[in-house]
Amino acid sequence: MAEPFVSLTNPEFTDDPIGAYARLREQSPLVRIGFPGGPPVWLITRNEDVKAALSDPRLVVDYSNVPGHQGPGIADQMVAALDLPDEFVPYVAANMMLKDGKDHARQRRLVTPAFSVRRIKALRPRIEEISAELVDALARKGSGDLIADYSSPLTGTVICELIGIDKEDQPQIREWMNEYTAPDADLAESGRGMVEYVKKLIGRRRAEPREDMVSALVQTTDDSGDRLSEDEIVSMVLLVVNNGHHSTSHFIPNAVLALFDHPEQLALLRARPEALPHAMHELMRIANPVPTAGPRYATEDMEFAGVPIRKGDALTGSYLSANYDPRVFPDPERCDVERVLERGQSHLSYGAGPHYCPGAALANLEGQIALDHLLIQRNTLEVTVAREELTYTEATPGGARLLDALPVRL
């Protein structure tokens, strides 16, 4: 069969991404797409197929696990494009998200206690306190940017406290965290500062453990006595900083806009605040700022979703397309905070399978508290610019599309 080939640089993917992906989804379960300067990739467009791919052992995230592989994989090329100093190579190599099989399972087993239900639930009072302080400060100010004045400092402070960063050091750490998404930032300088700080923190927590993530990572052992190495702990902290902070800080303004676009749903939540935890499933479906899964590689010639795939081919799942798939979500462009799905069906904003996001419970908790404080406990929040005036930055074609600012009055 002829391979459809689509460029994600086409304007339709920025002008109307939901509609563009809907057309691809109905065209084929897999569509051949291209990236500037990169190899062609199979884009998986349908919910059940994306979920299946994320759990298929024949598809791996580490290109070196493809028998007879040659050259670097897409993730390797993206890291190389950052032009990071050689000293960062061990932390990239230790990244849990880039491991498969036993290597991934071992690291995940040792990391999971740091994100236990008990630890996350224990954070609620402190997250409530941080959020209330930021909302009060924004209200006193009268107007500002919801991202810079609320969601970014909220998630940045929570991540710092989760990791175990001392209060006096948090402003510098948060500055480095925010540089990760700044277009002209010196990643080498901020990365070096972050790594050096985390190494010192590991040493302090080995000597005097506390109730924080680094202490848990340092202390955790499995049944065989295995522990995480220092490189693995540093890599995990950098992963949490990058994924746990930025994704949630941009989910919050996206969710606010979604509820303003559907005022009847906002009214329902204000009338029934106890419905908010369930509503988070729907809001995460439509307000998720992470549009695609990381690439997977076929370890053998195979057929996937009825399409022949060659060994070494790269595939990536579109979360955006999967989350708007009418096969799972009837009338998918409608926000329905009371939506009930059939057993086994779900949005895929946290991924699925072995690499399911370990921080999902924390992101849900932060989102609930933010929307409660901003929109349910108060009814005065207003967006002060027209929707067409909002601007976004897209890191790469088909990559995260992040709102630059959300001017508000409170």
SS3 of the chain? CCCCEEECCCCHHHHCHHHHHHHHHHHCCEEEEECCCCCCEEEECCHHHHHHHHHCCCEECCHHHCCCCCCCCHHHHHHHHCCCCHHHHHHHHCCHHHCCHHHHHHHHHHHHHHHCHHHHHHCHHHHHHHHHHHHHHHHHHCEEEHHHHHHHHHHHHHHHHHHCCCHHHHHHHHHHHHHCCCCCCCHHHHHHHHHHHHHHHHHHHHHCCCCCHHHHHHHCCCCCCCCCCHHHHHHHHHHHHHHHHHHHHHHHHHHHHHHHHCHHHHHHHHHCHHHHHHHHHHHHHHHCCCCECCCEEECCCEEECCEEECCCCEEEEEHHHHHCCCCCCCCCCCCCCCCCCCCCCCCCCCCCHHHCCCCHHHHHHHHHHHHHHHHHCCCCCEECCCHHHCCEEECCCCCCEEECCCEEEC
For position 183, what pLDDT does the model report? 61
For position 224, what pLDDT does the model report? 80
Q: Report if pTM > 0.85.
A: yes
Low-confidence residues of the chain: pLDDT under 70: 1-4, 35-38, 72, 75-85, 180-186, 395-399
For position 181, what pLDDT does the model report? 63
For position 226, what pLDDT does the model report? 86
List, in order of start, the domains of the chain with CATH numbers: 5-409 (1.10.630.10)
Maximum alpha-carbon separation in the chain: 62
Cβ neighbours of residue 130 closer than 8 Å, sequence gap 6 or more: 154, 157, 158
d(CA 355, CA 388): 36
For position 89, what pLDDT does the model report? 78
161 CB-side CA count, 13 A? 18
Cβ neighbour number for residue 149 with a 10 Å cutoff: 20
d(CA 291, CA 92): 22
Classify burial at 248, counting beta carbons within 10 Å of its beta carbon; exposed 0-12, middle 13-18, buried 19 or more: buried
For position 189, what pLDDT does the model report? 79
d(CA 139, CA 130): 14
For position 2, what pLDDT does the model report? 43
Q: What does residue 92 show for φ and ψ, rounded to 5 degrees? A: -70, -45
For position 1, what pLDDT does the model report? 40
Beta-bridge mates of residue 6: 33
